[in-house]
Amino acid sequence: MFYYVNGELALREAQAAVIDCGGVGYRLTVSLNTSESLSGMENKRVKLFTYLQVREDGVELYGFKEQAELNLFRLLIGVSGVGPKAAMAILSIMTPDRFAYAVCTEDIKGIAKAQGVGAKTAARVVLELKDKISKDVMTGATDTSMPVSVRETASTAPSGKLAEATDALTVLGYSRSEILNVLRGIDTQNLTLEQIITAALKRFAG
């Protein structure tokens, strides 16, 4: 129903933000990361991507500074046993790129540090989200359905890092062709996997 809200930040709290849109104040539940990104923005115009949850006992609107964070939230609440509260807890301790890296490296302990998320839930998050990642990542083979520039990327970048970075970014909802096109402009040879993911996300956001 709502894709985003764009208005004046009337109130900011640790886990909530109120956006004034045409005289109507929308209260959005936000992660700590999104809340921190709004620091100093009071009475200024901001834009948050949204997710509307409708339950029998009420309606709640969630807000996200980045599209990647919203994509992640949707993936997380799709995991069995993970509700919006747990999803927001995970997003409060991890940025999208850090979470993607945690899933790819099976960092269950890191995910389990989120409030209310135990080791079993964290393990389920890793298991179910890794199953959603495309495993047919290019490792040098030619795919004639892709643009030449994208095929060149697959053949010149280190296949191991390229595959892992592509897997991590796929978790966030980007397509394989989009990812490889972005990776083409990144020094994948000399950067670490986490640095590659971070650089790619910055390019998507820009």
Q: Are 25 and 16 in contact (CB under 8 A)?
A: no
Using a pLDDT cut of 70, give the percent of the chain over it: 85
Question: Can you tell me the distance from the alpha carbon of 176 to that of 134, in angstroms, rounded to the nearest whole number?
Answer: 8
Name the residue with higher pLDDT: 57 or 158: 57
Question: Can you tell me the distance from the alpha carbon of 77 to that of 200, in angstroms, rounded to the nearest whole number?
Answer: 24
- DSSP assignment of 66-132 equals SHHHHHHHHHHHTSTT--HHHHHHHHHH--HHHHHHHHHTT-HHHHHTSTT--HHHHHHHHHHHHHH
Using a pLDDT cut of 90, give the percent of the chain over it: 46
Nearest partner of 71 among 93, 54, 95, judged by Cα: 95
Ordered by start, the domain boundaries in the chain are 4-64, 67-132, 148-205
- Residue bearing tokens 């060149």: 152
pTM over 0.95: no
CATH architecture assignment, domain 4-64: Beta Barrel (2.40)
* Dihedral sign, Cα of residue 205, residue 203, residue 166, residue 37: negative
pLDDT in tens, 136-161: 322 233 343 333 333 444 444 445 77
Question: Can you tell me the distance from the alpha carbon of 96 to that of 70, in angstroms, rounded to the nearest whole number?
Answer: 9
Q: What is the mean pLDDT of residues 4-31?
A: 94
Question: Can you tell me the distance from the alpha carbon of 200 to that of 141, in angstroms, rounded to the nearest whole number?
Answer: 22
- CATH number, span 67-132: 1.10.150.20
Residue 175 has pLDDT above 50, yes or no: yes
